[in-house]
Chains A and B, each alone.
Chain A
Amino acid sequence: MDYDKLVSMAADAGYLLIANGAEISRAEESVRRIFYAYGAENGEVFAIPTFINVSVSTPEGRPVTAIRRIPSRRVDMGKVDRANDLCRRVCRTKPKFESVEREIRRISAQPVFPFPLQVAAYALVAAAFTLFYGGNCSDALVSFLCGAAIRPICSLLERLHVNLFFINVAASFAAAAIALCFANFNASLNYDKIIIGALMNLVPGIAITDFMRDIIAGDLIAGILRFTESLLVAAAIAIGAGIALTAMRMLWGV
């Protein structure tokens, strides 16, 4: 058996899972099951949210190792789902490495929703959460605009390779500023409900849900990383909105 290809394929499968927001224990177990399926029982895998390391010893005792850095993670549950199904199928049917690699490439190239639909989704999230937190219909309308502004700002800054912290500060500032401008001209708007609803878009849901699951599963480093990440993002959101609030107070005395 070609151990080089096995290790490379397993690393790619793990990378696909983690880069799209799966738990660390799921990714590690998937890789381990792939090794079992192909008869490489001594396979080892170590993963944290930014890194995956896979290693196997050949029967001659030569270690084969692959490392993948995971520079950026996004949440795409559709891909996690497909990758998970693929791993189960690989363990059951043990297909050729080439066909698995082709399948992994196909899954990772799968398109997400087109950009206008993503903007619409962000806007809908904002509007629905404003209503959920007790805003009225006109609040929801303004919140819809704030939410729609968040996605283009994020993708523009991502293209400029700005760091995650600053992206969140900028997006949060923009959403809060739009809400406060509207509130300045129409005093009946509940600007707090609008801002909270719009900022739900930036909340690191995956970090919050996964960090406890990771810690429970024994992946302490992964859990701490996610916890730190969620603290950083929460701070960034608060700072962005805080700058907008302070600036508006100084400008108009809202």
Chain B
Amino acid sequence: MYYLPCLWAFFACAAFCLVYNIRGKILPLSSFGGALGWFVYLSLNFLNNDIFQFFFATIATAVYSEVMARIYKKPATEFQIVALLPMVPGGGIFYTMEYCVIGNNEMFLKTGLHTLGIAGALALGILLVSSLFRIRSAVPGTKK
């Protein structure tokens, strides 16, 4: 059952393209990045560690965005901003807040730290790919 969540991720990203005013052929391409990221996340289920899953899924989307940006000569942000959205831990923030409101301190801390871990995995994934692609474009003779 991989395809249905990936399909929803695609549609969610496509709707976000309208919010961010991304039009034309970039719209399906960046939305596909979101679906790709979620596919990587789901297919790494055997790791049983969702922070690692998020990390690798972020790397996949970030590499996809950088490659697409170079093919189509567009800013990489344009792809990345949309493609990363399915991985943003919106659920984690919400459940953390809900536990806080209920007064379940143990679960509040546990969920909060887990959400922070996911956010860190996303940041680290972007960091890694962004720095690697910067090395490549800094090599003399290669065009940016």
Contact = CB atoms under 8 A, between A and B. Distances in A.
Interface of A: 21-23, 26, 75-81, 84, 112-113, 117-118, 120-122, 124-125, 128-129, 131-133, 192, 195-196, 199-201, 203, 205-206, 208-213, 215-217, 234, 237-239, 241-242, 245-246, 249
A26 B101 CA distance: 42
Given A77-B21, A77-B22, A238 B8 contact: no
Contact of B90 (A78, A129, A242): A129
B59 interface: no
A212 B100 CA distance: 29
**Which 5 pairs from chain A and chain B are nearest by CB?**
A121-B18, A128-B12, A124-B15, A132-B8, A238-B97
Contacts of B82: 205
B94 A212 contact: no
A238 B90 CA distance: 10
B126 interface: yes
Contacts of A213: 77, 126, 130
B142 interface: no
A79 B78 CA distance: 11
A54 B101 CA distance: 48
B101 A128 contact: no
Given A26-B75, A213-B126, A238-B93, A77 B88 contact: no
Interface residues of B, number: 44
A125 B12 contact: yes
A45 to B, nearest CB: 17
Contact of B78 (A77, A133, A234): A77
Contacts, number: 144
A124 B17 CA distance: 11
A132 B12 contact: yes
Contacts of A238: 93-94, 96-97
B131 interface: yes
B94 A200 contact: no
Nearest to B124: A212
A199 B20 contact: no
B91 interface: yes
B71 interface: no
A122 B16 CA distance: 8
B39 interface: no
A78 B20 CA distance: 8
A200 B88 contact: yes
Nearest to B30: A77
Contact of B122 (A121, A128, A208): A208
A21 B82 CA distance: 13
B93 to A, nearest CB: 6
B47 to A, nearest CB: 20
